[in-house]
Structure formats: C-alpha cells, structure tokens
Structure 1
Amino acid sequence: AALPALDSQPAEIQRPLLTAAFTLYAFDAAPLLRPLLPRLAAPREFAIAAYALMQTRQPADLALIQSQLAQRDRDEPRLQALAQALATAQGVPQPARPPLADLLAIRPGYPVVFSFQRPGRQQMGLALVRQADGRFVRRADGGLFNIEQLALSSSGLPGTITLGNTPQGLFTIQGAGRAASNIWIGPTPYLHTKVPGEASVAEYEQRVPGADEPAWTLDRYRALLPASWRDYAPLQEAWLAGRAGRDEMLMHGSTIDPRYYVGSRFYPGTPSDGCLVAMEYWSPEGTMVHSDQIALLQAFTAQGRDRGYMVLVELDPAPTPVALAEVIQSVLDAEARAPGRR
C-alpha cells in the first residue's frame, strides 16, 4: 500500500519500507517497484529497490535497472556495487578468484582473522586466525583453531547498504571493546573492526598518525592487498562500504536465542545488523555456557597484540556451511611461505 507513492516520502520512511520489500516481499512487490524505481532519487534507496527487483531475474527487470543506472552517478559507491551485482545477474563472466594462499599471506607481521563465507550468507561461515609470524593458531591437540561465524544481516542486503551484510574485503582491527548497552551483543568483548573512512589511513597502516596524513584513495586501499588480489573487485566491497558511510561492523558474540532461527539454513547462527557473529550459548539464568567469541579473542591476542586485520572473502556457492577442508591446503601453502619456514 505504501510503495506506489513512496517517492514522495522522506528517506527515513523509504529505507525501511524498501528493505522490507527486499527481505520479505520481493516478488509480490515487483509490479509496484517497476514504476517506482525511476522516481527514487537517492542512491541508497534506489539501490535497495533495484536489489529487490533484481530478485525476479527477469531480463526486462534487469534491463530496467541497467537503463536507470546509466542515467545516474556511476562513481557513487552504492551504485558501483549495484552495477557489479547487475553484471553478475546478467551472466557477464566474472574474473576468477585469485589464489587463496596469496590472500592468507596478507599483511605479514600482524595477526589476521580470516572469515570465509558463502555468497548470500545463508550458510554458516568459518573463521581462522593467523599469527603475526605467519603461522595459523592451533588448538591444544595440534589441530587448526577454527570457529563458526555468520556474516549475515537481518535484511540480507549487500554490504554497501546501511545495515546490510558484512562486506568482503580488508578491515583494520583496532583493539577490543564491550557493548554494555547492547543487549543483543551481550557482555563478551568484541573485536573493533573498521573499514576505510571509518578508520584513518594510519589506523589501517597500524602506525601513529603524522601531522600531514594522506587522504584515502582506492589505490591506497589496493596497496594493502596482495598483488594478485588488487584487481579482484569483490574484495573492494569494504572500500565501497566505507565510502558509503558504513561503520560499526564488529566481530562479536550473541545473546539472541538461536531457536528463533530453527529451520533456517544458517541455524544455529543469528543474524545481526551487519556484523560478524560468533556462536555463544547462555543458560536461562543468563550464565554463559559456551562462547566461540571468547575463543576467537584469545586466539587473536595470543601473542599479546590486539591490533591487526580481518579479511572477509566469499568462497564458492554451496548449500552447506563452509568446511575446513575447503581452505586447509591454502593454509598449509601460506604457512610454507612464512618467514623462517622452508
């Protein structure tokens, strides 16, 4: 009922209604979104409507989105991301993912959390931790430390959209903190992950800021990536998300009862507002029973440092959670390249 005249409403009304159309009613809303799309002037709201309409996968709808994009500012970060998603939906061949072992050697000398996720984020992802020396954290039994982690937002919108999924790319980690006032995150400390723009160049380069700090550019972000990954567009989503104004996409635990999501493909994970969520279980009295988030914090800070990086990368689509078997050989290859290893 609200969609036909939605273009006359302010953005604070447009955004939640279009988000609901995307998340809950994409196919039912499509006939109303087609005439509305050209009348949505703001990039964010236009992009949300376009993503909702794109779910029909109808050639005419994809053509409508493409024609509208051609009339808009293609340098706008949300529209850049939309153009990439549209090309994929239209079947345009996409570049192959570069060697994963190259990515696992990123930013030597710093601890790094690697979060491997599925496209669409409907299955549980997997997180590993690499130490500053290039070795991946092991458990007491010698096996690789790994936990389940979900990078799905409640809306399921892409990473450049407010409250959308956690974007792919390189984040800086600037210590830990507690979200005492957020009852959904709970008391377990989070790792403070930031994207470009939210974080300064100095924070990304893990140094004290100088008197004349350089401005962010795409080339400066790309320079932080391994050479083989610098032209891989999906890993630039974090850069676009920062330009779009996204922030506070943290790595945290969860007090949400996973039973709300029984039957979901990502169960027992709990979605968030764009963060990376590790599993936690609580008794009815509020006592912690188990926390993957605490284990992640301990693994990341095991060598006494709480500054480093997080990399989120999507692996191949599959109906199953990300398994260690999908990345284990790349981990071993990356470790073999680490300084002091033969």
Structure 2
Amino acid sequence: MTLNPLQKPLMAAALALLSACATRAPDAVPGQRHSTQALLAYQPADFHWQATQAEVEQAQRTRDLRLLHERLALPPGHAAQAALPDILSAVLLYNTDIDAARGPTLAALPGLTAQTGEAQRSVLSGVYAFYAAEAAPLLWPLLPQLHTPREFAIAAYTLLKPLTAEVRPAAAVQIQTLMQAQFPTWQNEPRLRALGRVLQDSPGSTSPPLAELLAAPLRPGFPVVFSLQRPGREVLGLAILRGSDGRFVRTPDGHLFQVPQLARALAHLPGTITLGDTPQGIFAVRGASTASNPTIGPTPFLETKLPIEASVAEFFQVDGSDLDWSEGLYAGLLPPSWRHWEPIKEAWLAGRAGRDEILMHGSVVNPAYYRNAPYYPATPTAGCLTSPEQWDPTTGRLRASGQLQLAQAFASAFAQGPGANGDPMVKGYLVMVELPGNAARRFIPVSEAEVREVVDEAERRLGGR
C-alpha cells in the first residue's frame, strides 16, 4: 500500500506539547485505550480532528507564527534567552524562519552553561539541525564546559556533522580525548558509548544477514512489525508485518502487507539522544491508545516500549519475572550473528539513557511544511515512527491512514495467536533496522521489490526450525 500525497491535512500546533509523544487521550475520549476487537472494527471515518479543518489550522499557525516573530523581535537579554527554546521548537515544527533564528541561537552559545540542562539540550539540538557549520568556532571552546553526557554528545555530533572525510578523523580524535578526560567511565554511559562508536568510525560497513534478523524468534507466537529504514532517514521507510504463525502477512494478491513509515525526528539527532531519531533495535508492543499530543491526532497508536522503560516481564510478554535488565538479556532476543552488531543495540542504550514514549502513530501535521523534503508527504516527529494520513480539510474526518491499517493488521495477527484467548490488549514486537546499502540509495524510498527476496529467505529459515 502506498498512500497518495496528502491534500492539505492540517493541524493544531501546541509548542508546549511538541517535546514528547504524550499518551493521554484527547478530550473527546479521555483515557481511551483500544482493545484488539475495537481496533479491528474501526473505519477511517470514525476519527475526527477539528484542528485538521483548513480554517482552524490556518488560524493556529497564524497565532503561533505571530508569537514566534514577537519572540524573535525581543532585544538581547534574559527574556530573549528564556524564549529561545520555544523559538527553536516553532522553527523546527513549521520549518520556517531558520535564518531569523540564526543570530539569537549562535549568540546564546557562549553563555549556554549557565542555562538549565533542558535549555541547553533545546538550543544545542536546534544548532545541530540548522547551524552546525557556523556554530563550530563557538562549540569547540564550549565543549570542555559541558559536563552532562547528553549535552556533550549533542555538541560533539554537531561538530562532526559538517566535516569532510579528510578532516573528520582529526576532529574525532580531539573529541575522543576530551570525552575520556571529562568522563573517565564514558563506556558505561549509554549516550557516550554511542558517541564513542561514531568517533572511532566503526559503525560497521557490512551488517549481518538481514534474513537472519527477520527470522529472529523473539518470543514465538507474537506478531512483529519490522520497520526497514534507510541510513540517514531522509526518505520513507517501510513497515512490514510478521504474523503470529511466523509468516509475513500478505495481501490477497500476494504482495507483502506494507505501510510507509518515517523514523526521523525533527532535530534529526542520533537515537540515544532525547527527541532524536527512532533508535535501531527491538521494542515491545504493549497495547494501543489515543494520544493528546496535537501533532499525533486521534488515530490509535501502537504503544512501543524500550528495554528498561518496559519491565523485563512486559518486554518478554510474561506475567512476571525475577530477572533484572542486562545487555545480555536484550541481546539474547537477537540471532547469534546480530548479538555483537552495535547499531542494533541502540534501542538498549536509548532505554538506559531514559528515552521513552517512542510510539508508532499517525499524524495531523500539515506535510506542506516539509514539501521540499525528500520524505514528503510524511512528517518528522519528536522521535516516534509515523505513517502518512489523509484528513479532510473541510470536515476534519480521516480519509485514509497507513497507521490505522498497520494497527488493524497487527491486531488481526495478534488475535490469531496469543490473542485468541480473548486478551484485549495487543502485544508483540517492533524491530527497527536500517537497511544496508550504498549512498546511491539514500534518497530512494524503501520498496517491497528490494526486500521481497530477503523476506522469502527469512520465511525459509523459519520454516526449517
């Protein structure tokens, strides 16, 4: 399935809620969770979001941009500094006024350590997204003053981002030396461990066989969403579904069930960083709910949980467990060839770093904000996985939704396996992985044609067990 470009789906922006994928239901259905049977019964027209109506979205955008411009016009001083995180949130969301925010953002860097950690994160994330090259002269002297791993890592990634292959190794050595001096136990800190892999330029050019990952037993009998993404997350990836019987779900005409899916964050930071891209690795699926975040909308999301965010019992889909979380416990879910592949452990590190609420959801954000982006008509998020949706700009009714299709296919697969006993909460797994490939494929959306052969191989492996 490939959704057509959205025709002016619209949104209500609330900058205060942009920073996380909140899991409370909207006012119309407070606290709503969706049972397996309820998911299967929904139709797109059952969902309405007033803020997708053209006049409502336009009015909200006008108010937000007026506030943005008022904040940008503040004279240098405490008020302007305090407004900068909200300024950058609006710039990221609406993809506008990037040049206007450059001066205030760069001016804030020399005194950034006097701000709270959250303010530092917000400013550094904006710098990473938009101003990496011009910020470098200010970031090098700032780096030794950053004594929290998250902010140090964001600044380091920002310094590396614009460098060419010729000068990057020397900069990496300099950052590595500083990191080891400031954080002697850096290898035990999840964000710094991930940074260290990048600094050592050893992400691994050849990943283990993808078919072995697609055939990973995980917890046999539970459905698994495999989200296949390009390195760089510049284009739409593809979500496919392995059913409870171990076979990949197909349509009546024999094609793989598939939903376009984007795993890119607004700031586009690595996955161990707060509000960064969706990390690679294994997540547990623990139910379906409706979100309050106005960029998500009412379509049921699949609640995915990282290790540690989910208890061992939740992650392994059992009633209880006396085990404590460990890297070995997480790696034991992977096939042997993948257990030492560091990128697939990003979800484990992200969980240790405290990331949470990384969901599979729809979107009521107007994709026109990102019309020139290669991932259009999808919309980036606060770190979740999102599928394009079509909303009627006149009525605010949902026309079509890849997310609803995914949630319903997952519910159907669960109902044919562990859910056959009437369990009302859908359960299973998500595996997020970047596909191997050369740079020439970076801007080509993931397609069924390129993964069909490896899916067939995975099924042969599963059938041989």
TM-score > 0.5, shorter chain as reference: yes
Any conservation in 2 of the 1:133–1:338 contact (CA below 8 Å)?
no
Paired amino acid for 2:252: A
1:18 CA drift (Å): 0.7
Q: Which of residues 202, 206, 225 is equivalent to 1:96?
A: 206
Q: Provide the residue aligned with 1:242 in structure 2.
A: 351
Runs of 4+ residues over 3 Å off in structure 1: none
Aligned match for 2:308, one of 197, 213, 236 = 197
What is the distance in 1 between the residues matched to 2:365 and 2:121?
A: 25
Q: Which has the higher helix share?
A: 2
CA contact (8 A) 1:48 1:161 kept: yes
Task: Using CA pairs under 8 Å that are at least 6 residues apart, name the structure with larger relative contact order, 1 or 2.
Answer: 2
Q: How far apart are the structure 2 equivalents of 1:323 and 1:87?
A: 32
Whichever of the two has the greater Rg, that structure is 2
TM (norm. structure 1) is 0.95
Alignment partner for residue 20 of structure 1, among 120, 126, 144?
126
Deviation (angstroms), 1:140: 2.5
- Is the CA contact 1:113–1:127 (under 8 Å) kept in the aligned structure 2? yes
* TM-score normalized by the length of structure 2: 0.70
Q: Which moved more, 1:120-129 or 1:135-144?
A: 135-144
2: CA distance between counterparts of 1:127 and 1:121?
14
The count of residues paired between Structure 1 and Structure 2 equals: 335
Q: Are 1:326 and 2:326 matched, yes or no?
A: no
Report what 2:273 is aligned to.
161
Tell me the alpha carbon deviations over residues 220-265 of structure 1, each in whole angstroms, 9 at most, x when there is no partner.
0000111111111000000000000000000000011111111101
Conserved in 1, the CA contact under 8 Å of 2:197 and 2:203?
no
How far 1:93 sits from its partner (Å)?
7.2
Shift in Å, 1:326: 2.2
Q: Secondary structure at the match of 2:386?
A: strand
Task: Give 1:217's aligned residue.
Answer: 326
User: Structure 1 or 2: larger strand share?
Assistant: 1
1:252 pairs with 2:358: no
- TM-superposed CA distance for 1:87, in Å, is 2.1
Alignment-derived partner of residue 278 in structure 1 = 387
Residue 267 of structure 1 aligns to which amino acid in structure 2? Y
2:139 maps to what in 1? 33
Could you tell me which of 186, 199, 210 is aligned with 2:297?
186
Shift of 1:109: 1.9
Task: Decide whether the 8 Å contact of 2:173 with 2:199 is kept in 1.
Answer: no
Does the Cα contact within 8 Å between 2:233 and 2:264 map onto a contact in 1?
Answer: yes
8 Å CA contact 2:203, 2:342 repeated in 1: no
Partners of 1:228 and 1:308 lie apart in 2 by 22
Query: Are the aligned partners of 2:262 and 2:385 in contact in 1 as well (CA < 8 Å)?
Result: yes
Q: Does the 8 A contact of 1:40 with 1:46 survive in 2?
A: yes
Secondary structure of the residue that 2:110 maps to in structure 1? helix
- CA–CA separation in structure 2 for the residues paired with 1:17 and 1:325: 41
Instruction: Compute the displacement of 1:142 (Å).
Output: 2.1
Percent of pairs with identical residues: 52
Amino acid at match of 2:372: G
CA distance in 2, matches of 1:9, 1:291: 41
Cα-to-partner distance string for 1:121-180 (whole Å, 9 max, x where unaligned):
11110110000111111113221111110000001011011000000000000111111x
Secondary structure of 2:124's counterpart equals: helix
Does the aligned pair in 2 maintain the 1:30–1:56 contact within 8 Å? Answer: no
CA distance in structure 1 between the partners assigned to 2:460 and 2:407 by the alignment: 25
Structure 2 residue ranges without an equivalent (≥5):
1-106, 420-425
